């Protein structure tokens, strides 16, 4: 009988399921896209049942590709899209409203008011600045604006949770309602020092503790899968993490000062800061990386709202490409950006700007601008945003970063990776397994289930696939960055001119 670890990566645009053998080689992969719902400008939602079905579809596809059955799974690790949150009826198991996605900006005005009145208190307790990015104000919105949520709350039937919580609840047949510390640290509801929900913040937002899941360790007991519900699997769920912390773990960034960047719908850079959180004047987020065996490892996080989603927009919105795979050749064919810069602030700008009102801006267009140059500017925009994050992270942590490990779908784009190395003036390292979120979740599950003793056993599993070294002159690098920052200022000024 073959024995596999299952890493289930519930991401913003789709769910990936990967089977790893006991030597941490990728055996098979399943995937299903998740429908994006945009009810109004700045609003982003997911159908929670679509997420559940995508998890089952991707897992069954991975099993089928490996010629495996549910009984071949040793344990299950889950990572998820972080701040996205939902409410559901614990009796019927039916979602009351769509999941509100981390990108959603419907609570921007509420965030500004709360920041003015209680921003310091919330920062002291949660280590997060008040922003609609986090789960807290999304939960408050659901309780205030969804009549059925109010009715179920009064009846004691309402449950609330992030996407890990929802999947655990479904996979265990409704037996377990729980989340982990890394997830709690992204909600703006958890006291970072205590690792538990903060009663004063809950009271301030009028969110009952009773609807929230207990917070547990990242490696631990989250119940067993019910075979009839989840692809014939009866293995324990023993690892739970936010996707970006899972990627940090999957990249074996176990030493303080090590950094990874994940390129997905958004783009996220995390630095391991060891056993203490680092406060950031630039607005980077001090968060829990993971918690194992009673020990918490912290991380510093910088997030970019729009990265791969900008390429999707080129495909689905502008229709100037038919697939992301075309963009590398098009960017190279352009030769240069020819003075075109694209700031993909579709839902504002995150760290280090934290500007909810910034909007997408394309500058430098002339009559000679080509679609290839627009594609190139779109790819370059990701590299520029990552550069802004990295320099803020170095300033705030006091640690000089010597290399960056990268993962996610866009690392297949050699143009982007080379340009990223050039703009950072640092080596960029691509591992053999680029689905490091699923790998990190599987790593954590193996520890939680007792199949792996600790991180030392996992470090040898990281294997280099490609390395990109900087080739750009310092003069060119600084020129491009100056022009980029000028474009960012235009994007930030746009809404304020009304």
What is the spatial distance between Cα 355 and Cα 112, in angstroms, rounded to a whole number?
11
Per residue in 430-481, pLDDT (tens digit) is 999 888 999 999 999 999 999 998 898 898 889 999 999 999 999 999 999 9
Element (H, E) at 249: helix 243-250
Task: List beta partners, residue 16.
Answer: 9, 31
Nearest partner of 40 among 444, 347, 300, 345, judged by Cα: 347
Residues 6+ apart with CB under 8 A from 478: none
Q: What three-state secondary structure class fits 235?
A: coil
Please state, as a whole number, how many other Cβ atoms lie within 10 Å of the Cβ of residue 161: 26
pLDDT tens for the chain, residues 1 to 498: 579 999 999 999 899 999 999 999 999 999 999 999 999 988 999 999 999 999 999 999 999 999 999 999 999 999 999 999 999 999 999 999 999 999 899 999 999 999 999 999 999 999 998 999 899 999 999 999 999 999 999 999 999 999 999 999 999 999 999 999 999 999 999 999 999 999 999 999 999 999 999 999 999 999 999 999 999 999 999 999 999 999 999 999 999 989 999 898 889 899 999 998 998 888 898 999 999 989 999 999 998 888 988 999 999 999 999 999 999 999 999 999 999 999 999 988 988 888 888 999 999 999 999 999 999 999 999 999 999 999 999 999 998 899 999 998 899 999 999 999 999 999 999 999 888 999 999 999 999 999 998 898 898 889 999 999 999 999 999 999 999 999 999 999 876 655
What is the spatial distance between Cα 328 and Cα 380, in angstroms, rounded to a whole number?
11
Q: What three-state secondary structure class fits 488?
A: helix
What is the spatial distance between Cα 157 and Cα 178, in angstroms, rounded to a whole number?
16
What is the spatial distance between Cα 183 and Cα 359, in angstroms, rounded to a whole number?
28
For the chain, domains (ranges, CATH) are 4-243 (3.30.420.40)
CA distances from 259 to 53, 59, 280, 333, 406 (A): 33, 29, 16, 32, 9
User: If you ran DSSP here, which 8-state letter would residue 91 be given?
Assistant: T
Rounded to the nearest 5°, which phi and psi values hold at 80?
Answer: -150, 175
Q: State how beta strands 215-216 and 85-89 pair.
A: unpaired
List the beta strands (DSSP E) in 219-338: 237-242, 259-263, 267-274, 285-292, 295-304
What is the spatial distance between Cα 194 and Cα 196, in angstroms, rounded to a whole number?
5
């Amino acid at each position: 009988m073959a024995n596999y670890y299952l890493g289930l990566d519930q991401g913003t645009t789709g769910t990936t399921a990967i089977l790893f053998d006991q030597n941490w080689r990728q055996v098979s992969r399943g995937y299903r896209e998740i429908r994006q719902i945009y009810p109004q400008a700045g609003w982003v939602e997911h159908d929670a049942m679509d997420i559940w079905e995508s998890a089952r579809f991707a897992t069954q596809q991975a099993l089928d590709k490996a010629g495996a059955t549910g009984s071949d799974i040793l344990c299950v690790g889950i990572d998820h899209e972080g701040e996205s949150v939902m409410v559901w009826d614990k009796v019927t198991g039916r979602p009351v409203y769509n999941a509100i996605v981390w990108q959603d900006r419907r609570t921007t005005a509420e965030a500004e008011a709360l920041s003015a009145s209680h921003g310091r208190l919330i920062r002291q307790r949660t280590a997060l600045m008040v922003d609609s990015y986090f789960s807290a104000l999304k939960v408050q919105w659901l309780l205030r604006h969804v009549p059925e949520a109010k009715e179920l709350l009064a009846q004691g039937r309402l449950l609330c949770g992030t996407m890990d919580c929802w999947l655990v609840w479904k996979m265990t047949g409704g037996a377990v309602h729980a989340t982990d510390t890394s997830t709690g640290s992204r909600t703006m509801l958890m006291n970072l020092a205590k690792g538990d929900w903060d009663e004063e913040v809950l009271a301030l937002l009028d969110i009952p503790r009773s609807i929230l899941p207990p917070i547990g360790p990242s490696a631990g007991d989250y119940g067993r899968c019910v075979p009839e519900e989840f692809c014939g699997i009866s293995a324990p769920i023993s690892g739970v993490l936010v996707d970006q912390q899972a990627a940090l773990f999957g990249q074996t960034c176990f030493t303080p000062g090590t950094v990874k960047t994940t390129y997905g719908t958004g783009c996220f850079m995390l630095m391991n800061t060891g056993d203490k959180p680092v406060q950031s004047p630039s607005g980077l987020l001090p968060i829990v990386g993971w918690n194992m065996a009673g020990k918490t490892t912290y991380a510093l996080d910088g997030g970019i709202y729009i990265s791969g989603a900008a390429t999707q927009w080129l495909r689905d919105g502008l229709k100037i490409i038919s697939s992301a795979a075309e963009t590398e050749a098009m960017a190279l064919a352009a030769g240069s950006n020819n003075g075109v810069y694209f700031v993909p602030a579709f839902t504002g700008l995150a760290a280090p700007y934290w500007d909810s009102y910034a909007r997408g801006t394309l500058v430098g267009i002339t009559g000679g601008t080509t679609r290839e140059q627009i594609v190139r500017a779109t790819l370059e925009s990701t590299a520029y945003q990552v550069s802004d994050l990295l320099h803020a992270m170095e300033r705030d942590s006091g640690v000089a970063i010597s290399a960056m490990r990268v993962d996610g779908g866009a690392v297949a784009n050699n143009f982007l990776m080379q340009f990223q190395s050039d703009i950072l003036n640092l080596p960029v390292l691509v591992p053999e397994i680029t689905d490091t979120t699923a790998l990190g979740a599987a790593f954590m599950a193996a520890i939680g289930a007792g199949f792996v003793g600790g991180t030392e056993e996992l470090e040898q599993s990281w294997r280099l696939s490609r390395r990109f070294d900087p080739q750009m002159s310092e003069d060119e690098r600084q020129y491009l960055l100056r022009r980029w920052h000028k474009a960012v200022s235009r994007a930030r000024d746009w809404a304020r001119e009304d």
